[in-house]
Structure 1
Amino acid sequence: MRIFLFGAGYSARVFARLANKKADFIGGTTRDTTKFATLEAEGITPFLFLGSHTSQEIEDALETVTHLVISTSPAKSGDPVIGVFGDTIRRHMPKLQWIGYLSTVGVYGDHGGAWVDEGTPCHPVSVRSTERAEAEAAWQALADARRVPLAILRLSGIYGPGRNAFINLSNGTARRLNKTGQVFNRIHVDDIARALLFLGENNQGGIFNITDDEPAPPQDVVAYAAELMGIEPPEEADFETAQLTPMARSFYGENKRVSNKRIKELGFTFRYPDYGTAFAAMWRDGSWK
């Protein structure tokens, strides 16, 4: 495989580390040249992409790429990768075999706590989720025109090393907001990476919810992390009266339980099927830091 990552961020970098031994080349974009050395140390050839201008270096790299992973945020004007490199992907990537697009379960919108699966129609609520749904459609149209499989990975709340309730409890930012009936699914970043590699190696297309098996109230997750740390959790606070940014409050405007059955039907097994399994392992081996 020769892999190119548009958006070599948190999830894509974990995927790159997993895929490194199986890939002949992994390139990845960043908007910050100061991150070049870190990416190189992780086996990723870095490229600068600001989302608005083409790059001959990227054009040249794409000529031999077999697997394309998109982990960038869309904008009001559309998907930035398609906007700049859409024609290149359509016409000038002779080796391309597969595209993976990292999206969000936010595209389903609010379902009042009911279960959704990959066949559930999308009714996004927030602007950012609407843009994601539009980007999914744009990538599907491009993949259909190119006649290559597109895997759309709809991710739930991402956690892993450096991004979890242990960190928030340690730095004093953890909160236990209680909104009656509210649940969220979550996903460990290692399972995102494993799902990407599984789908990419098999050139598998389709829509896949990459999420755990246990939608749970967010305050319970913080309490469990505190229990593992041997400390008292913060007191519960009522969501309705809590002081929150509009962005933070908007997350609680969507309530659903997300099924991951489709990728399991292909034979994929989640390493961390619930937050309890993951948090116990992270605390035991110190990988939460």
Structure 2
Amino acid sequence: MAYIDQEVRRLVGKAVHHYGLIDDGDRIAVAVSGGKDSLLLLWILRERLRRLPIRYELVAVHVDLGFEPSTAAPLEDFFRKEGFDYRILRTDYGVQAHRPENRENPCFLCARRRRAALFRQARALGCSKVAFAHNQDDFIETFFINILYGAQTAGIVPRQNFFGGSLVVIRPLALVDSHKVERMVRRLGLPVVENPCPSAGRNARTEIRDFLFGLYRKNRKIRGNIYHAMSHINREYLPPPLKRASVAPKDAAEKRPQGETDA
């Protein structure tokens, strides 16, 4: 077994155990966009079943956003070839989100509608959990997006309850950085689907990613330090909150945690 395989499996296992992500008997809807992260997550979650004393079920769910070329066809071929249980949801969410009246923030509207569709499908399938493929870099980037554009210290978490705990979002790639994901996907030869969204690579996340990766190249410890800092808060050395009126109007409108997408 290649070193990268062992390392990614170890980190996924560590996240699953440390954050309590998967239990015996779970039925899990895996959100598969067609990107490298979601394909790897689906692959690894099935591969782990061969080595674990517990059992769980997986259903791959893909939301086609209505762009051309369609992302549904190549993913359906992959699911069938590999024997995955799957559902394809065909929508026009991406096209509608890019209408002229919503030009300022199409990603937020699209992600919200896509997530709602995933949640509805998960519940219809009898799934108690939805697995998203956010990797460690997604956690860090979302943290910075909220600080810079949402005026709050917030991010995404490895496990999150919705609807009173009847549906749980899990993120098993929380400890795996994007470089490791890319290396393992390339080694496995997984068929990554190109993102047809016109906003891909042209948003605040891309700018923050470029900035952070510049730091990582200078010091390999920075990525891990930032991730650990998100759960080691020394409030004694942080200023108390200002009144809401002190926050710029455009920032106050974005108080809800920002920057999260369904990987």
TM-score, normalised relative to structure 2:
0.30
More relative contact order in 1 or in 2 (CA 8 Å, sep 6+)?
2
TM-score, normalised relative to structure 1:
0.28
Greater per-residue helix proportion: 2
